[in-house]
């Protein structure tokens, strides 16, 4: 009887202990969770596709190179580029999926989720949003893209000095990004020798820009700066051009999308973005460009590279922590970033400042015949 009782107890004990035993055994191979908070549907869905393609290629390379002891699982949440959805997604990533690293985009989304990541000490990496106040948003919020003030600092002297532009009108989306660009142009344009002659805010949902074009024509600008994103920026370009605005159009890195590049009305549009040489760069950059071309049948864009870098940065940091037999946490990742500072990334060595902002060179480009051509920088 006793033997039977011990057997039952043993069996019961074993059954209860089983999940823990399995958990302990699996700890070495349990996947790191890489969360993404991108718009996968709605008028900004194109960005989600572009951002994700970069992250996925990085994951492939990380796996091929066996950089980490544990695999990485990609957990995507659709934000529709809206703060509310992003907060829901971030809460899920942090509390349910226990994400180690979250890739974000869009200024409003980044600002909405940063406090959640800050509280949970989850690293958030932005490779698409350029609102200047994203710098120093949280110790756990980093940027692998130069922010808007750096872009306009490169563009304005070129416009005023090389193109003879003095009067600029701004069409901007009513959103933290648009407001930030308005502030920058108000401050920086007079310093560069130009003048902001009109600013026209449009809601994120606006689709009709014929009436806005009529108002823009009234202020007689030499150039029109467009500060929007997604499908709306193409609609603004088309709306302005179709309604008699023939002046120079200019903008920032968000214009670097296929849908804008292929728009006939975008011909002559001048915009800024990171400087990256995909063909003549180092081996990592060439591998990225070649494999991207192979997988997607087209050359990568800066956004693809940024989210590749955002993902690769995690692998590089986690690799260092694994080597030191440490725990991969928000704090250990941050400590490693601040200790090393320089990392081999697509585009060359990426150097980070104390706020987690990657420094990068900016260039001025122009869309001509469906291609982006280098102008300056």
Partner 1 sequence: MDPMLVLQLLLGGLQNGALYALTAAGFALIFGATKVFHVAHGAAFTLAGYVFIYAWNAGWHAAIGVAAALAVAVLFGIGMERFVYRPIQRHEGSFFTVFVAAFGVSIVVQNLVGMVAGRGFASVDSSLSQGVEVLPELFLAPVFWVAIGTAILLFVALTLFLSRTHAGVALRALAQNPDLLRAYGLSSSRLSILAFALGSALVAPPAVLMAMTIGLNEAIGNHVMLLSMAATMVGGIGSLRGAAVAGVLLGVAESLVLLVLDTQWAEAASFLVLFGFILFRPTGLFGVVAAK
Q: Is 296 in the site for partner 1 (CB under 8 A)?
A: no
CB of 215 to partner 1, least distance (A): 6
CA–CA distance, 191 with 188 (Å, rounded to integer): 5
183 binding partner 1? (CB under 8 A): no
Residues contacting 288, CB < 8 A, separation 6+ = 57, 61, 278, 300, 305, 308, 346
Rounded to whole angstroms, the Cα distance separating 122 from 244 reads: 49
Interface residue with partner 1 among 43, 89, 194, 347 (CB under 8 A) is 43
Site string for partner 1, 227-246 (x = CB under 8 A): ---xx--xx--xx-xxxx--
CA geometry: angle at 337 spanning 150 and 36, to 5°?
75
Q: Return the structure tokens found at 270.
A: 């001048």
Alpha carbon distance 57, 62 (integer Å): 9
Answer yes or no whether residue 88 interacts with partner 1 by CB under 8 A.
Answer: no
- Please tell me the distance from the alpha carbon of residue 55 to that of residue 33, in angstroms, as a whole number: 13
268 lies in the binding site for partner 1 (CB under 8 A): no
Question: Is position 21 an interface residue for partner 1 (rule: CB under 8 A)?
Answer: no
For position 259 contacting partner 1 by CB under 8 A, the verdict is yes
Among 206, 219, 284, 376, which residue sits at the site for partner 1 (rule: CB under 8 A)? 206
> What is the size of the binding site for partner 1 (CB under 8 A)?
43
193 lines the binding site for partner 1 (CB under 8 A): no
How many other C-beta atoms are found inside a 10 Å radius of the C-beta of residue 121? 16
Among 161, 190, 193, 211, binds partner 1 (CB under 8 A): 211
3-state secondary structure of 166: coil
300 binds partner 1 (CB under 8 A): no
Q: Which residue, 46 or 222, has its beta carbon nearer to partner 1?
A: 46
Rg of the chain (C-alpha set) = 24
Residue number, 74 or 206, with CB nearest to partner 1:
206
Q: Which of 231, 186, 212, 181 is nearest to 45 (CA)?
A: 231
Please check whether residue 216 is in contact with residue 198, taking contact to mean a CB–CB distance below 8 angstroms.
Answer: yes
* 350 counts as binding partner 1 under rule CB under 8 A: no
Site of interaction with partner 1 (CB under 8 A): 40-43, 45-46, 48-49, 171, 174, 200-203, 205-215, 217-218, 230-231, 234-235, 238-239, 241-244, 257-260, 263-264
């Amino acid at each position: 009887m006793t033997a039977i009782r011990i057997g039952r107890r043993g069996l019961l004990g074993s059954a209860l202990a089983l999940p823990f035993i399995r958990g302990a055994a699996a700890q070495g191979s349990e996947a790191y969770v890489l969360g993404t908070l991108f718009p996968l549907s709605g008028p900004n869905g194109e960005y989600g596709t572009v951002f994700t393609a970069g992250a996925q290629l990085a994951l492939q390379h990380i796996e091929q190179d066996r950089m980490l002891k544990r695999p990485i699982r990609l957990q995507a949440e659709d934000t529709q580029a809206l703060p509310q959805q992003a907060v829901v997604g971030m809460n899920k990533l942090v509390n349910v999926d226990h994400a180690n690293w979250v890739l974000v985009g869009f200024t409003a989304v980044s600002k909405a989720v940063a406090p959640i990541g800050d509280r949970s000490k989850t690293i958030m990496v932005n490779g698409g949003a350029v609102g200047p106040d994203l710098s120093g948003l949280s110790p756990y919020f980093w940027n692998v893209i130069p922010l808007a003030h750096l872009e306009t600092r490169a563009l304005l002297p070129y416009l005023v000095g090389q193109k003879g532009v003095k009067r600029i009108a701004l069409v901007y989306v009513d959103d933290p990004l648009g407001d930030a660009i308005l502030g920058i142009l108000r401050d920086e344009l007079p310093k560069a020798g130009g003048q902001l002659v009109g600013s026209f805010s449009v809601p994120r949902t606006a689709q009709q820009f014929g009436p806005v074009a009529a108002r823009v024509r009234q202020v007689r600008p030499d150039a029109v700066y467009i500060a929007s994103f997604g499908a709306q920026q193409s609609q603004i370009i088309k709306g302005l051009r179709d309604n008699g605005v023939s002046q120079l159009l200019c903008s920032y890195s968000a214009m670097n999308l296929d849908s804008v590049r292929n728009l006939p009305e975008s011909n002559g549009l001048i915009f800024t973005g990171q400087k990256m040489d995909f063909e003549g760069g180092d081996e990592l950059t060439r591998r990225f460009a070649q494999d991207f071309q192979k997988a997607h049948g087209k050359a990568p864009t800066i956004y693809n590279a940024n989210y590749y870098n955002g993902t690769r940065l995690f692998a590089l940091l986690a690799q260092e922590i694994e080597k030191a037999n440490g725990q991969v946490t928000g704090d250990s990742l941050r400590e490693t970033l601040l200790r090393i500072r320089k990392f081999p990334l697509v585009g060359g060595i990426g150097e980070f400042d104390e706020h987690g902002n990657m420094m990068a060179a900016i260039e001025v480009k122009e869309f001509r015949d469906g291609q982006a051509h280098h102008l300056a920088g």
